[in-house]
Amino acid sequence: MMQLSSFALVARDINDVDIDHLHALTISVRWPHRQKDWGFLRRVGRGIAAVDEIGRVFGSAMWFPQGEDFATVGLVITTPRVQAQGGGRWLMEQLFARCGKRNLALNSTHAAYSLYLSLGFTTEGIVHMRQGVVRAALPDLPPVSGTCAALPRERVAELFALDARAFGHDRSDMLISLAPLSSIIVLRREGEIAGYSMCREYGRGFQVGPTVAYDSADATHLTAAHLGSLGGRYARVDTHETDGPFAAFLEGCGLRVEETVTTMSRGRPFLNVQKSEPRVFGLAAHAIG
């Protein structure tokens, strides 16, 4: 329990909290999550909400297990009043107690960065949250080796091995949950899957990601396969790519950097970029990695 000046807060399982109250919490901090997004996040993750004695929600924190010894952390939200009295730290301590010895990673806002440093997280990279209305005509695409085509959702298991090499952990359960909500494009070379990208409705429009590829040309073609049908609509790509061909392509599509967050880890380092190996060009969402 957390005792504030005039009332007490308790940590309640996030699935026991009215989803309307969680939606109101994100609206209060101007985050774009819809009620449907909260529903999905509660299905794929675990979490707590800071609730007072009459059921009002003052904060939240979620974690998303990815394999046996790792989880990503997201939706760590507090109202200004609770934050000023240490609510963010209290929520994270509650989360640590529930995650046990798992290695953790998260994407920190600028406001929360100092808190996470003090809790033992270390900086690994920057996520560029690119979003905007997709232009009707996309930029010219670079040459690519292979062929892009749709993958039926029920065959999502074909992505597991490649994704684990890029992500560094087994997140097959997350991909299984994303598949029914997503269109899936794969890039094949010599009959083998060399990259993939998912796209689904999320937030203010569409989220393109996760996207896994060996290089920027592959990632560009996979992403273009989704954006080509979204002209005039709002889309978002969260990426660690600061510059280079992939970032330039997204800029040319009308997706500009609206915000950045900092990737941080606690325990084993998270980002898994290795030469000649596939890597994650587009996150599933900055809240879940």
Q: Which pLDDT tens digit goes with each residue over 62-105? A: 999 998 899 999 999 998 777 767 888 999 999 999 999 999 99
- Where on the phi/psi map is residue 78: left (φ > 0), alpha (ψ -120 to 50), or beta? beta
Question: What number of H helices and E strands is found in the chain?
Answer: 9, 14
With cut-offs at 50, 70 and 90, classify the pLDDT of residue 2: low
Q: What is the mean pLDDT of residues 274-279?
A: 92
Q: What is the mean pLDDT of residues 144-159?
A: 97
Pairing of strands 182-189, 57-65: unpaired
* Cβ within 8 Å of residue 6, ≥6 positions away: none
Six-digit token string for 53: 């004695």
Q: pLDDT tens digits for 175-214? A: 999 999 999 999 999 999 999 999 999 999 999 999 999 9
Q: How does 4-22 read in b/e, with b if 16+ C-beta sit within 10 Å?
A: beeeebebeebeebeeebb
What secondary structure letter does DSSP report for 143?
A: P
pLDDT at residue 211, rounded to an integer: 98
Sign of CA dihedral 242, 243, 246, 252: positive
Give yes or no for residue 3 having a pLDDT over 80: no
With cut-offs at 50, 70 and 90, classify the pLDDT of residue 242: very high
Identify the CATH class of 129-258+268-282: alpha beta
2-101: which CATH topology?
Answer: Aminopeptidase (3.40.630)
Give yes or no for residue 11 having a pLDDT over 80: yes
- Where on the phi/psi map is residue 24: left (φ > 0), alpha (ψ -120 to 50), or beta? alpha
Q: Could you give the CA distance from residue 121 to residue 115 in angstroms, rounded to a whole number?
A: 9
Q: Determine phi and psi for 111, rounding to 5 degrees.
A: -65, -30
* C-beta atoms surrounding 39 within 10 Å: 12
* C-beta atoms surrounding 94 within 10 Å: 18
Q: Could you give the CA distance from residue 224 to residue 27 in angstroms, rounded to a whole number?
A: 31
Q: Do domains 2-101 and 129-258+268-282 have the same CATH topology?
A: yes
pTM: 0.94
Q: Determine phi and psi for 66, rounding to 5 degrees.
A: -130, 90
- Domain ranges (residues) in the chain: 2-101, 129-258+268-282
Q: Could you give the CA distance from residue 182 to residue 174 in angstroms, rounded to a whole number?
A: 12
* C-beta atoms surrounding 196 within 10 Å: 26
